[in-house]
Structure 1
Amino acid sequence: IDIAQCLLQPEAGNRILADIRRFIRESGRPVYGLRSHEGFWRFAVLRNSAGSGSWMVNMVTAAEDAGLLATLAQGLQAQFPEVATVVNNVTARKAGVAVGEAEHRVAGDGVIRDRIGPFEFEISANSFFQTNTRSAECLYRQVLDYAGLKGHESVVDLYSGTGTIPIYISRSCREVLGIEIVASAAADAERNCRLNGVSNCRFVRGDILEGLAAVKVRPEVMIIDPPRVGMAPEVARRVLDMGPERLVYVSCNPATLARDVALLGEHYEVVEIQPIDMFPHTFHVESVARLERRALT
């Protein structure tokens, strides 16, 4: 749906998008067709930092054209000083996904910076980061509360992304191991630890199941924050085999939350669930569930 104005983003985003549209019309390069699989321009992805007000523009194209993208970036930064960086993701895949096989930094340093609580985070173009950072702090406070940490615990965080949850809870436990399949996100997580002076978090890059196989000590607490599709049954089985005392499950999809809680129900019971309104004016809701290990009988 081609819209001229999005009411969910700051007004500056609408103006940036309008200027991108104008440039594309004047560029002489066609927009990519998902049916014909022909064309150049594929997606424009905007990220905004609520903490600094700066923007990242990620242009996804079907081929590389460094000169054309540099001209776009120069124009955007001249008109909108708040555009801190412009990147170009290039993909030849037919799927309509705004991620490229190759990424090129066109202007700026290729990351955007935002804050959650006392921590600062650098986020690259293809790394997951909560879109609503103000509500994200409420979310992470709830995670910390449900984790019930006393300072001595070993914590495993599945689907750790850019390291937001591990870093946010790092002052309350002994150590955190994050497992993340997206290499750029794991690299962001390691960089964010250095940025915040956090030394008790480490990250495993790779498949969740493979990462869990490398965990040799049973953690006291496990935090699970999967994508909308939830956990694979094999991951749920591995969690049951490891048997942490407490699980904190963060979900953006109530349907897969219910399914996964049922998969874990053999050894765990749900004690509390707190919904968080991360996406105002939409039907989407984030939920945080606390599960405790059932007593052996």
Structure 2
Amino acid sequence: MGEPYGDQVARKQQEVAAALGPGITWDLPTVGPEAGFRNKAKLVVGGSRGEPTLGILDGHLRGVDLTGCGLYEPGLADIVHRLPTLVADLQLTPYDVASRNGELKHLLVTHSPDGDAMLRFVLRSPGQLRRIDLGAIRQHLPEARVVSVNLQPEHKAVLEGPDEQILTDHDTLPMRVNDVTLHLRPQSFFQTNTAIAAALYARARTWVEGLQPATVLDLYCGVGGFGLHALGHGAQHVVGVESSSEAVRSAELSATALAAAGTSEWLAGDATQHLIETTPDLVVMNPPRRGIGPELCRRLEDGGPAHLVYSSCNVATLARDLAAMPAYAVTAAGLFDMFPQTRHHEVMVLLERRGVPRT
């Protein structure tokens, strides 16, 4: 932070281009606002009952207030400013990491382009569930479409636990991205920068329209952003694979509105193990930072389709995976500045199997 934004982007472009090597034609970097771009706040709760802090913990495990963080998009920033008063009014006891006493560990808030919000309370145990008063929450946060409680009983650096109890009638937060409405459940992953996510999906759609693949296999599909943007834009059938069953349910719900554009199926499973019996025309991959790994690289190298789209938040693992698939060449590449004010990045490449006749 403090480095001029244009210099930040230029440095990232140099770093990702160097990592992938020469001979690649890069599109201009895709950028958005350098501040006020995050759609999600992950807040550690500190302080005391009646006087909570929301932000992070310092080196002495005391709460540090970050409610004025300049990275939150305006609607989210407005919500975050109201949260300390809400927590105090609910008389929730913050969890003290040093003494291992208290209940409320984190608040997780997601804000949609249409102004709605999802609010999640992460508690150590069900003991203070009775204090989560929906009436009081809606007085403070009328935008709260989805409210849930997540239980994280373990004392470790893991933000949330496996158990989630939804308290509202609505159990999804609609996220309108381009002309597709994605549905987020409490434990579904979504990119933290809505504007850049929209640009990423739009670029992938442009590539799909140019290729006209009848079938698309969307691996690590999350809530279906890439696959749903492809459906009806060259793709007639999409198969999405994701390890999170909650994300799969979200993708299925979103796909119902696009049924006229084509058919789709969404599977909960290990993307590494999954290639459909008939090789698809295109495989899209958006893996976590560790990349797709040697096994999937081998499967694609040996019998993958003519084209791949690979979106990565870690250019080092992307470069490693591309080196393991020499049958493919990069034909288009772009940097998407998903995380301004950090050294992190998003890179997406279009790959073509060598020797494929150009149309």
Tell me whether the two structures share a fold, i.e. TM-score over 0.5: yes
Aligned with 2:95 (options 31, 39, 50)? 31
Structure 1: where are the runs of 5+ without partners?
none
- Alpha-carbon separation, structure 2, partners of 1:32 and 1:158: 40
Aligned with 1:190 (options 244, 247, 252)? 252
Q: Percent same amino acid among aligned pairs?
A: 28
- Alpha-carbon separation, structure 1, partners of 2:345 and 2:337: 6
Residue identity opposite 2:216 in structure 1: V
- Alpha-carbon separation, structure 1, partners of 2:264 and 2:333: 27
Cα distance, 1:149 vs structure 2:
4.7
Deviation larger for 100-109 or 170-179: 100-109
User: 1:196/1:95 Cα in 2 relative to 1: closer, same or farther (>3 Å)?
Assistant: farther
Residue identity opposite 2:104 in structure 1: W
Q: Which residue of 1 aligns with 2:6?
A: none
Q: Does 1:89 align with 2:150?
A: yes
Cα distance, 1:239 vs structure 2:
2.0
Aligned residue runs from structure 1 range 87-166, under 5 A: 87-147=148-208, 149-166=210-227
User: 1:168/1:230 Cα in 2 relative to 1: closer, same or farther (>3 Å)?
Assistant: same
Cα distance, 1:25 vs structure 2:
4.9
Q: Which residue of 2 aligns with 1:177?
A: 239
Structure 2: where are the runs of 5+ without partners?
1-55, 57-63
Q: Which residue of 1 aligns with 2:80?
A: 17
- CA displacement 1:256-290 (0-9 Å, x = unmatched): 2112211222x112222111122233332211111
Q: Does 1:5 align with 2:65?
A: no
- CA displacement 1:121-172 (0-9 Å, x = unmatched): 2111111112222222211121123335554522111100111111110012
- Alpha-carbon separation, structure 1, partners of 2:292 and 2:99: 35
- Alpha-carbon separation, structure 2, partners of 1:115 and 1:109: 16
Does the aligned pair in 2 maintain the 1:205–1:211 contact within 8 Å? Answer: no
Aligned with 2:351 (options 280, 283, 291)? 291
Calculate the TM-score normalised by the size of structure 2.
0.74
Q: Which residue of 2 aligns with 1:66?
A: 129
Q: Which residue of 2 aligns with 1:209?
A: 272
Does the aligned pair in 1 maintain the 2:94–2:105 contact within 8 Å? Answer: no
The structure with the largest alpha-carbon Rg is: 2
Q: Does 1:241 align with 2:274?
A: no
Cα distance, 1:186 vs structure 2:
0.5
- Alpha-carbon separation, structure 2, partners of 1:59 and 1:159: 27
Aligned with 2:137 (options 76, 81, 87)? 76
Aligned residue runs from structure 1 range 44-59, under 5 A: 44-50=107-113, 52-59=114-121
Q: Which residue of 1 aligns with 2:340?
A: 280
User: 1:85/1:202 Cα in 2 relative to 1: closer, same or farther (>3 Å)?
Assistant: same
Calculate the TM-score normalised by the size of structure 1.
0.89
Residue identity opposite 2:251 in structure 1: A
Deviation larger for 3-12 or 168-177: 3-12
* Count of residues in Structure 1 that have an aligned counterpart in Structure 2: 289
Cα distance, 1:97 vs structure 2:
2.5
Q: Secondary structure at the match of 1:99?
A: coil
Cα distance, 1:105 vs structure 2:
1.1
Cα distance, 1:76 vs structure 2:
2.6
Q: Secondary structure at the match of 1:187?
A: helix
Does the aligned pair in 2 maintain the 1:90–1:103 contact within 8 Å? Answer: yes
- Alpha-carbon separation, structure 2, partners of 1:228 and 1:18: 32
Deviation larger for 158-167 or 147-156: 147-156
Residue identity opposite 2:352 in structure 1: E
- Alpha-carbon separation, structure 2, partners of 1:242 and 1:155: 15
